[in-house]
Amino acid sequence: MLAKRIIPCLDVKDGTTVKGTNFVNLREAGDPVELGVRYSEQGADELVFLDITASYEERKTFTELVRRIAANINIPFTIGGGVNELSDVDRLLNAGADKVSVNSAAIRNPGIIREIAENFGSQVCVCAIDASFEGGIWSCYTGGGRNKTDKELFSWAKEAENSGAGEILFTSMNHDGVKTGYANEALRRLSETLNIPVIASGGAGNMEHFRDVFVEGKADAALAASVFHFGEIAIKDLKAYLKKENINVR
């Protein structure tokens, strides 16, 4: 059984790491490169950097930041935000990223997932899905949670897998920043219906939530932000706790 991964996520706006609740009310959390180095040294398995306003503002993810990150850390990292075409993927990989995350662009043009997989390999393509549970349905959103679409979480995740996505990064907008635990029921359903890894995002507030997302949610990786950024949970302590709970971590 593959080891479960712990992945700090750095939401970046105007070159600074920020964190909000339910995708709004952002507050600053520090320099993304410095935080990336800290997490790398503390034992994070991977990092995710999201340029959270790139899709909304229709601009390119900052290549220079990617270069600075790559020069300073030695663990895999994923870049997302404003990835709309193959040239964006090529630019980010050449700058040092290991994977790219597509969200809004993939919903607008599902063919981009296939293009990335065919040109760079499925392992490079992470399909990020932001969804909100409304009226009994998980509805997918684009533009950093601003625009509701007609896509439904489970069918869209399967379509993304069939198109060649290597991983699904599911963020529950209802759970984002609230620290009451992950959307384990939805995560378990995703994990049981997909054949690719599922990364859980949204809801981490304590170490038990990480245990539950692996045991109940059957997630392959757990992504979190504020509990790491503001020193509430140390990655080393979290991994020691998970090992005591008989969860296989690196």
Residues belonging to the active site: 11, 130
Which residues, 6+ apart, have CB-to-CB distance to 232 below 8 Å? 226
- Residue whose structure tokens are 């964190």: 19
CA distance 29 to 69: 17
Phi-psi domain of 19 (left: phi exceeds 0; alpha: psi -120 through 50; beta: other)? beta
How far apart CA 182 and CA 165 sit, in angstroms, is 22
In angstroms, the CA 94 to CA 207 distance is: 36
Q: In the structure encoding, which two tokens stand for residue 33, read together? A: 């490169």
User: Rounded distance, CA 4 to CA 7, Å?
Assistant: 10
Residues contacting 66, CB < 8 A, separation 6+: 49, 79, 92, 95, 96, 97
Concatenate the DSSP letters of all residues of 204-225 into one string. --SHHHHHHHHHTS--SEEEES
Name residue, tokens 């359903």: 189
User: Exposed (0-12), middle (13-18) or buried (19+): which is 148, by Cβ within 10 Å?
Assistant: middle
